[in-house]
Amino acid sequence: MSDKARIRRDIASMSAYTPTTSLEVFAERLGLAVGDLIKLDANENPFGPSPRAIEALARLPNINVYPDPESGRLRELLADYTGVPAKQILCGAGADELIELILQLFIEPGDCVINTPPTFAMYGFDAPLYHGRVIDVYRRADFSLDVDAIAAAAQQHSAKLVFLCSPNNPSGGLIDAADIRRLLDLSATIVVDEAYIEFAEADGLSDWVAEYPNLIVLRTLSKWAGLAGLRVGYGIFPSALMPHLWKIKQPYNVNIAADIAAQASLRDADLLLERVRSLVAQRQRLEVAFAEFACLAPYPSQANFVLSRVQGLSAEDFRDRLARAGIIARYYNKPRLYDHIRISAGTPHQVDRLLEALRGIAAG
């Protein structure tokens, strides 16, 4: 009997996921050493984790013992960092896990989930797996939210959840506070993913959770704290949701290494936020420099990356030419993004090399 006969039909008919090429394969294809590659395709932190996190990982205790299922110490440190009581914070194996947990908590088969593409792919990818019905409300040409259309769709479909990303990945813009307030008047729960808030000139919405019973804020240590490979993020939830989240969370979702490294990172927040300022300076450098190339039209960003429209050549071709210079950028084969490229901010040296490669491409 074929697998198809027994597994979920929607999964059997799904197309396969194309994983990103590993650095090793990429380097071999280009005839370069892995160390010569500059990875600017996934908004990772080029400075790596904090020294305290590295030290804590080197002394990792008791990996034969299960981790603290409540991530108690980490949540206390996150409470200090965010100003939100620990009892309203839940940690996950990355913010990605919390997206799934929120869908599990709210969605009954056929319930509507509003997505606002172009945006982070996981909301639209995960929702159907948890039996949600995704309604896409596309952003405007400048990638700002179409709040009227979201409100209308939410009402028409009695939406349970609205996923918003601020600053938005991949376009980089923040959502106006007034727009979010308007959406919070809807009966849907509004999930605001603030994976990049440390890079923005805004405080984020953690304080608002006390005020709105239908607001969830997601954060991660993957980007600003350089822990993407360890998988640790957190959500700030209305008090009423917490007992139910505790019921459904996998008990040992945050592993010991992630827990310990995240704690050490929060104790090293000053240094990490200094690096964030350096990355913001490099992102600003990219915005200014890109605007001077005829082939690129950058959008203003409040994150650690810049999205640009590519003109005069295809974005795919542009990505391939950067790759030949050892620079990996992100191209999306998706509506509204076919002629765009996203490039992460790197170290000053990496940005020097990127700009040199760009001058080469511009010269033909």
- Residue-by-residue DSSP string for 242-281: HHHHHHHS-TT-S-HHHHHHHHHHHHTHHHHHHHHHHHHH
**How far apart are CB 198 and ligand PLP at their closest, in Å?**
12
Helices assigned H by DSSP within the chain: 9-12, 23-30, 51-58, 72-82, 95-106, 121-129, 147-156, 177-184, 242-248, 256-267, 269-291, 315-324, 348-362
Q: How far apart are the first and last CA of the chain?
A: 56
Q: Is 155 helix (H, G, I), strand (E, B) or coil?
A: helix
* Residue whose tokens read 């993407």: 228
The strand pairing partners of 344, in sequence order, are 305
- Which CB, 48 or 360, lies closer to ligand PLP? 48
Is 3 exposed, middle or buried (CB count within 10 Å of its CB: 0-12, 13-18, 19+)?
A: exposed
**How far apart are CB 234 and ligand PLP at their closest, in Å?**
9
- Which CB, 172 or 326, lies closer to ligand PLP? 172
**How far apart are CB 77 and ligand PLP at their closest, in Å?**
17
- Whether omega for the bond prior to residue 170 falls within 30 degrees of 0, making it cis, is yes
**How far apart are CB 285 and ligand PLP at their closest, in Å?**
21
- Which CB, 254 or 358, lies closer to ligand PLP? 254
- Which CB, 144 or 311, lies closer to ligand PLP? 144
The strand pairing partners of 327, in sequence order, are 38
**How far apart are CB 76 and ligand PLP at their closest, in Å?**
20
| Interacting residues toward ligand PLP by CB under 6 A | 94-96, 120, 165, 169, 193, 195, 220, 222, 228, 233
What's 38's DSSP letter?
Answer: E
- Which CB, 214 or 220, lies closer to ligand PLP? 220
**How far apart are CB 195 and ligand PLP at their closest, in Å?**
4
- Which CB, 120 or 208, lies closer to ligand PLP? 120
- Which CB, 94 or 298, lies closer to ligand PLP? 94
* Residue whose tokens read 């700009």: 355
- Angstrom distance (rounded) from CA 250 to CA 263: 20
**How far apart are CB 325 and ligand PLP at their closest, in Å?**
25
